Amino acid sequence: AEQAVEYGLVDEILTKEEPKESKEEPKESKD
């Protein structure tokens, strides 16, 4: 559970840091 929360926070931070890349290819980034 803790790991999932950490990953979620990291994903949010990365999305806020580079929302363009995340929106451009979210599938590749998540994959």
According to the model, what pLDDT value does residue 5 have?
A: 72
3-state DSSP helix/strand/coil % of the chain, to nearest 5: 85, 0, 15
- What's the pLDDT score for residue 12? 75
Position 30 scores a pLDDT of 60
Give CA angle at 5 (26, 30), nearest 5°: 15
pTM attached to this predicted model:
0.25
Separation between Cα atoms, residue 31 and residue 14, nearest integer Å: 14
Looking at residue 4, its pLDDT comes to: 66
Cβ-based neighbours of 29, under 8 Å, separated by 6 or more: 14, 21, 22
pLDDT in tens, 1-31: 577 677 777 777 766 666 565 556 666 656 5
